[in-house]
């Protein structure tokens, strides 16, 4: 539990540095995470919801020390979705039959693999943004043998990600991640 508290501290400190100041919700979150007993870590404040194939999963953002990706993980650690800031790059424990997927950006698009075996290559454009009201919508249009699709990132006026929608396997529906609370 100390590792989770340390990771929470880094998340809040880095967000505070970027924003130059803490908002009261950030300070409340920080105080409750580090001043209370282990069972008072505000998981609900940090949680994201993953919608996939008709099911809801509650995931927590975990940041590795090198800050290269954000791992969204359930409390058991059996579901992990890795996001590098522009792309979902890995999905473990999401697909049936324990299939773990790695998604790699190539010069022409995206390459989907599992256990070092490439099972799909899609032609994808770079992300392009449009403004819809106060929300910036970043879309990456892709073509595949199964048909076209778009990966999507939505960012509100405050600069917070409000939605991630990505294809993780060509034979399954899109995966959607949304924060339960916008605290940063």
Name which of 97, 93, 85, 107 is nearest 166 in CA terms: 85
Q: What is residue 97's predicted lDDT score, i.e. its pLDDT? A: 75
Which pLDDT does position 14 carry in this prediction?
44
Alpha-carbon gap, residue 156 to 136, rounded angstroms: 6
Between these two residues, 64 and 81, which has the higher pLDDT value? 81
Under 8 Å between Cβ of 103 and 87: yes
Q: Percent of the chain, pLDDT > 70?
A: 75
What SS3 state is found at 117? strand
| Domain boundaries defined on the chain | 1-45, 47-179
pTM: 0.75
Q: Is 60 exceeded by the pLDDT of residue 3?
A: no
Question: Distance of CA 3 to CAs 20, 69, 93, Å?
Answer: 25, 17, 22
Instruction: Specify the pLDDT at position 41.
Output: 55
Computed over every residue of the chain, the mean pLDDT equals: 80
One of 3.40.50.300, 2.60.40.1180, 2.40.360.10, 2.170.130.10 is the CATH number of 47-179, namely 2.40.360.10
In this prediction, residue 55 carries a pLDDT of 87
Q: Which residues contact 50 (CB under 8 A, 6 or more apart)?
A: 56, 57, 58, 59, 72, 79, 81, 94, 175, 176, 177
């Amino acid at each position: 539990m100390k590792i989770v508290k340390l990771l929470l501290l880094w998340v809040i400190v880095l967000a505070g540095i970027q924003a130059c100041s803490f908002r009261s919700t950030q300070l409340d979150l920080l105080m409750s995470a580090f001043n209370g007993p282990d069972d008072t870590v505000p998981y609900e404040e940090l949680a994201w919801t993953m919608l996939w194939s008709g099911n809801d999963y509650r995931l927590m953002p975990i940041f590795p020390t090198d800050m290269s990706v954000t791992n969204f993980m359930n409390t058991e650690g059996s579901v992990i979705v890795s996001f590098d800031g522009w792309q979902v790059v890995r999905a473990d424990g999401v697909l049936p039959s324990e299939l773990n997927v790695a998604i790699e950006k190539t010069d022409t698009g995206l390459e989907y693999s599992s256990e070092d075996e490439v099972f799909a290559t899609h032609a994808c454009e770079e992300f392009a943004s449009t403004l819809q009201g106060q929300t910036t919508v970043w879309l990456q249009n892709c073509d595949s043998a199964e048909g076209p699709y778009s990966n999507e990132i939505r960012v509100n006026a405050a600069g917070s990600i409000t939605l991630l929608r990505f294809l993780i396997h060509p034979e399954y529906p899109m995966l959607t991640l949304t924060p339960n609370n916008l605290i940063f």
